[in-house]
Amino acid sequence: MTDVAMTAMAHRPRRMRRFVRWFVSDIRGAVSLTFLLVLLVISLLAPWISPYDPVAQDVDAALAPMSAAHWLGADDLGRDTLSRLIYGGMASLYASFLAVAIAVLIGVPIGVLAGYLGGWVDTMISRVIDSFLSFPAIVLAIAVTGALGIGLTNGMISVGIVFAPQLARLVRARTLVVRHELYVDAARCFGGSTGRILWRHVLPNAIQPVIVQVTLLLAAALLAEASLSFLGLGIQPPDPSWGAMLARAYQNMEIAPEQMYPPGLAILFTALAYNTLGESLRVALDPTMKRN
């Protein structure tokens, strides 16, 4: 291993320690991360902590206000709002993580190949990326959902496909810088294969902006799931999700407007936590950046 490569590897633990110290000292980032972890735990424990079956109907409790029996009231079919909110968190988090995972699996390899190989490969991939980015994201997601079929999983696959070009362009730009670093040239001179260079040297050093972008895409995926479910293209009744709850509450807004607040606030605070966490990661990973 060359001295340049050893020096680059020696700096990685130091950068990680600096990141941990900075992130722990960032109150907004810590609060956002704590909120998301608590939300994840509550969603995973939904079958044990939910007071009611989220799809069980009670006509006598239809549009019931907040009470000891129903802490957040009940919807127009008498289903407990709190129970559906808890189970809806599980669906919404699953949807956002699925969409972003698909975007990473598709976008990152494509971006690395385009940036490292260059030439006609880069030109062809860039034209395809530009074609996808020329369409509004939600419109393209609806079109892909129509092709794959209505449902939560298919809807999030379509959202992941729509988000992949954004990550590909970001990784491509970073790879164009990394491929000219000395440790990459040294690995190439010592006969390293393209696959090994990409995996051992280019990808680890080009992935940093993706970490920040992933948190921002989680928020965007959450909103996309809510939009698709609101339009009836996401999760299907009677299964709960925050978007589906919001659509149901919207139908009864004049009679029971308070039913819109729980799912609406859940979407708002979760998206805000994702964005705040992303901002904290952006500054923590690059201390020269200033918080907006």
The distance of Cα 252 from the centroid of its chain, to the nearest Å, equals: 30
Kindly tell me if the per-residue pLDDT of 291 is higher than 60. no
| Local confidence band at 185 (pLDDT 50, 70, 90 cut-offs) | low
For 171-183, what is each residue's pLDDT tens digit? 888 888 877 676 6
Of the options 1.10.3720.10, 3.40.50.150, 3.90.79.10, 2.60.40.10, the CATH number for the domain spanning 15-285 = 1.10.3720.10
Kindly tell me if the per-residue pLDDT of 11 is higher than 60. no
Domain range summary for the chain, segments of one domain joined by +: 15-285
Kindly tell me if the per-residue pLDDT of 289 is higher than 80. no
| Local confidence band at 4 (pLDDT 50, 70, 90 cut-offs) | very low
Of residues 57 and 24, more confidence is placed in 57
d(CA 179, CA 192) in angstroms, rounded, equals: 13
Which amino acid is located at 274 in the chain?
Y
Nearest to 92 by CA among 221, 246, 211: 221
* Beta-ladder partners of 74: 80
For 88-128, what is each residue's pLDDT tens digit? 988 888 989 999 999 999 998 898 888 878 788 888 988 88
pLDDT over 90 percentage in the chain: 17
What is the sign of the dihedral through the CA atoms of 146, 147, 149 and 155? Answer: negative
Average pLDDT, the chain: 81
pTM of the entire predicted model? 0.82
d(CA 55, CA 70) in angstroms, rounded, equals: 14
Mean pLDDT of 231-256: 84
The pLDDT score that the predictor gives to residue 175 is 84
CB 54 within 8 A of CB 80: yes
For 40-94, what is each residue's pLDDT tens digit? 999 999 999 999 989 888 888 888 888 888 888 888 888 999 999 999 988 888 9
The pLDDT score that the predictor gives to residue 229 is 83
The pLDDT score that the predictor gives to residue 6 is 44
The pLDDT score that the predictor gives to residue 194 is 67
Question: Distance of CA 261 to CAs 93, 243, 254, 265, Å?
Answer: 19, 12, 13, 6
Where is average pLDDT lowest: 11-15, 140-144, 163-167, 202-206? 11-15
Mean pLDDT of 10-32: 66
